Amino acid sequence: MGFIYLAGANLLLTTVASVLCVCFAPTAAGPGIPEIKAYLNGVDTPNMFGATTMIVKIIGSIGAVSAGLDLGKEGPLVHIGSCIASLLGQGGPDNHRIKWRWLRYFNNDRDRRDLITCGAASGVCAAFRAPVGGVLFALEEVATWWRSALLWRTFFSTAIVVMVLRTFIEICNAGGCGLFGKGGLIMFDVSTVTVTYHMMDIIPVVVIGIIGGVLGSLYNFFLHKILRLYNLINQKGKVHKLLLSLSVSLFTSACLYGLPFLVECTPCDSSLAESVCPTNEGSGNFKQFNCPDGHYNDLATLLLATNDDAVRNIFSTTTSAEYHPISLLIFFALYCILGLFTFGIAVPTGLFLPIILMGSAYGRMLGIAMKSYTNIDQGLFAVLGAASLMAGSMRMTVSLCVIFLELTNNLLLLPITMIVLLIAKTVGDSFNPSIYEIILHLKGLPFLDAHPEPWMRNLTVGELADAKLPVVTLRGIETVERIVEVLRNTTHNGFPVIDDGVVPPVGLAVGATEVHGLILRAHLVHVLKKKWFQREKRRTEEWEVREKFTWVELAEREGKIEEVAVTSEEMEMYVDLHPLTNTTPYTVMESMSVAKAMVLFRQLGLRHLLIVPKYEAAGVPPVVGILTRQDLIAYNILNAFPHLTKPTSREKGN
């Protein structure tokens, strides 16, 4: 009956979370951090920050965590923070947007990017009660472009979050939260613990770092394989997504309920009161489970508790006899398996907590094995193990160090935590990329890395342009028919505007070809929607443009050519594209290397980069090509140029 109640409740909660994600907001599934990282890198991620996504993320995360699945709420909190920031910046959802005049100043790409960065930092701060760690997480892991103004804005955001959080913590500690107890925060305060270590203690610390790097890279490897399998299952439809989530939930419930029967009961310490040990309450240590009075089941204490209580239990200091090595080994193996199979199902999931639980288990086991060689407490070994596994999988260092520092509230742990993180990241980088880079690749998001591949120096942008289809250009005064044809037959978002027969200001007074600039697809759609046509072929005046368009309208990116109706009579008319053209687009010479062009593209946050010829001659077009983000992705270049050698891991590290 106990198993039926447990499995039934977990299945019900998983069903709620999964149905919401599958039917209403598919973008709410997963942690959301890779998509935020891609958006801040310049990739458009549709429906990622909408109101529906945020609501489903909140309710789905509550359901998934309450269902006992091996996932955390930290990743979803980062996504929720970014959704709130985006909605505040644009005045609410699209259907019910507030039309305050001052909100239009935030209706641009840069301010929206800054707000989403602040939201991500606030989410980390809310999850770990770590304001400085949240700022550093945004700087190290999420943001692509950083500036001094963004630093104080994220710091201000996390300061407000931690003040509100502290207020609610005090209310809950005073018993004002009712059934919610003291809140579900991971708080492991060891400020009262005196951490002492000597030179010989560095050896076990280094061992933890090496093991964390190896295990983290192995976790990434197996997770990559399982996510590819899940992609095949999820492509079969909504029913298969739902069945996969329910199967994982049922398997999790069976493991959580059945495995504690494999371990022996432990007698309670005589110094503990009977109300403390044993207990079967919803929270607390020393679960009685199947044991007689006066005994507790240490594995049930870890498994049949909230994830936050499990972290608190396994991090606890001066408890060297509470958990047996066999129980810790079963706990570690189970959470490795559940962590791999749970991530990727159609519910909001987080990676932080499963990795913390796995790392803390093997850290505590290592502490038990080395207790005769070191004075470091087993609970502190668990903290170092969690830090090493997170660094080995996520490849973060500075932000993780500060987050663990703010969690433990003990500066004495700083030196050994730094050593563990650096060693684990170095070891992990020698095997495979970070977990977020793997997810970005699986989702097909064109993320531009900070450093180009070494072989990109041997390829020019001219050669890259030759491998593509010819560039589609428009004239300064173009027919409506030509514009409609180009928009319907291509998916390009930018088109060079070329003028023939132009008299140059200097040189011979003969007809020349002018590259007037670049016009966006969205602006062409606006022109067709507004019917800004003219019967004769002429240049328009500036006042004519200002009467027809506002800068707020031109900032919008919505609109499709399928929504526009153009009559056959209008097809014969003309459109003057000069006023709507960006006359100062970024250009590169066709002889420039792809590596240099990629650095320029990424640092300036471009969408299009025009390639101009090295020589001027009859028959040579003024624009030989146009580079977009997809053209600079290493995978796509290697598909077009298979003779190029793929980089080795050593070259990539350099």
Please, which pLDDT band fits residue 289 given cuts at 50, 70 and 90? confident
Q: Looking at the structure, do residues 496 and 397 belong to the same domain, yes or no?
A: no
**Are residues 434 and 460 both part of a single domain?**
no
Amino acid, res. 481: E
210 and 347 housed in the same domain: yes
Tell me which of 13-27, 174-188, 315-329 is least confident.
174-188
User: Does residue 205 share a domain with residue 145?
Assistant: no
Cα-based distances in Å from 212 to 136, 184, 435, 611: 22, 26, 14, 46
DSSP-derived letter for residue 609 is E
CA distance 353 to 407: 13
Instruction: Based on the fold, state whether residues 6 and 83 are members of the same structural domain.
Output: yes
CATH number at residue 336: 1.10.3080.10
Give me the mean pLDDT over the 609-636 stretch: 87
Verify that 484 and 438 share a domain, yes or no. no
Task: Give yes or no: residues 622 and 531 share one domain.
Answer: yes
* Phi and psi at residue 343, to the nearest 5°: -70, 125
Residue 271 lies in a domain: no
Domain boundary among the residues 385, 418, 443 is at 443
Sheet-wide strand order for 512-520? 474-475, 494-502, 512-520
Cis status of the peptide bond prior to 504, with omega within 30 of 0 = no
pTM: 0.86
Calpha distance 320→504 (Å, rounded):
85
420 is written with which tokens? Answer: 């563990």
User: How many structural domains comprise the chain?
Assistant: 3
Q: Are 338 and 259 in contact (CB under 8 A)?
A: no
Interval 329-348: pLDDT, tens: 999 999 999 999 999 899 99
Of 485, 496, 477, give the one whose Cα is nearest residue 625: 496
Helix (H, G, I), strand (E, B) or coil at 116: helix
Give 456-504 pLDDT, tens digit per residue.
998 999 999 988 888 999 998 889 899 989 988 888 889 999 988 776 7
Last residue of a domain, one of 443, 477, 492: 443
Verify that 227 and 112 share a domain, yes or no.
Answer: no
The β-bridge relationship of strands 609-612 and 625-627 is: antiparallel
**Sign, Cα dihedral of 381, 386, 389, 394:** negative
Of 421, 353, 352, 428, the C-alpha closest to 387 is 421
Residue 244 lies in a domain: no
Task: Please determine, for residue 133, whether its predicted confidence score (pLDDT) is greater than 70.
Answer: yes
In a domain, 552, yes or no: yes
Say if residues 311 and 187 touch (Cβ distance below 8 Å).
Answer: no
Residue 185 lies in a domain: no
CA distance 539 to 417: 67
Residue 518 lies in a domain: yes
168 shares a domain with 309:
no
Q: What CATH number has the domain bearing residue 602?
A: 3.10.580.10
Domain-embedded: residue 39: yes
Domain, as residue range, for 70: 1-174
- Domain annotation covers residue 404: yes
Query: Do 618 and 509 sit in the same domain of this protein?
Result: yes
Average pLDDT over all residues of the chain: 85
Do 66 and 100 have their domain in common? yes
Q: Is 204 in the same domain as 332?
A: yes
| pLDDT tens for each residue of 149-208 | 899 999 999 999 999 988 888 887 777 776 665 655 655 555 556 666 777 778 888 999
Burial of 48 (0-12, 13-18, 19+ CB in 10 A): buried
Report residue 290: phi and psi, to 5°: -100, 10
